[in-house]
Amino acid sequence: MTAPKHSHVDPKLDLVLERIVDVPPELVWAAWTNPEHLKEWFTPRPWTVSEVELDVRPGGIFRTVMCSPEGKEFPNVGIYLEVVPNKRLVFTDALLPGYRPAPNPFMTAIVTLEAHGKGTRYVATALHRDEAAREQHEKMGFHDGWGKALDQLVALAKKL
Structural domains of the chain ordered from first start: 13-157 (3.30.530.20)
Cβ-in-10-Å burial (0-12, 13-18, 19+) of 47 comes to: middle
CA angle, corner 71, sides to 50 and 133, nearest 5? 80
Look at residue 3 in the predicted model and tell me its pLDDT.
Answer: 43
pLDDT band, residue 66 (cuts 50/70/90): very high
| pLDDT exceeds cutoff 50 at 56 | yes
Q: How far apart are CA 24 and CA 102, in angstroms?
A: 34
| pLDDT of amino acid 153 | 98
* Measured CA distances, 27 to 24, 79, 124, 128 (Å): 6, 22, 16, 28
Kindly indicate the confidence band of residue 141, based on its pLDDT and cuts at 50, 70 and 90.
Answer: very high
Q: Of 88, 86, 80, 28, nearest to 56 (Cα)? A: 80
CA of residue 91 relative to chain centroid, distance: 8
For residue 4, what pLDDT is reported?
A: 44
The mean pLDDT of the chain is: 94
- In whole angstroms, give the CA distance from residue 54 to residue 134: 25
Q: What is the model's pTM?
A: 0.92
- Best CA proximity match to 126, nearest among 45, 2, 9: 9
Q: How does residue 7 score in pLDDT terms, banded at 50, 70 and 90?
A: low
pLDDT in tens, 86-109: 999 999 999 999 999 999 999 999
- With the CA atoms of 134, 82, 4 and 135 taken in that order, what torsion angle do they form, in degrees rounded to the nearest 10? 0
pLDDT of residue 37: 98
Q: Is the pLDDT of residue 42 over 50?
A: yes
Percentage of the chain exceeding pLDDT 70? 96
Cα separation of the two ends of the chain: 33
DSSP 43: S
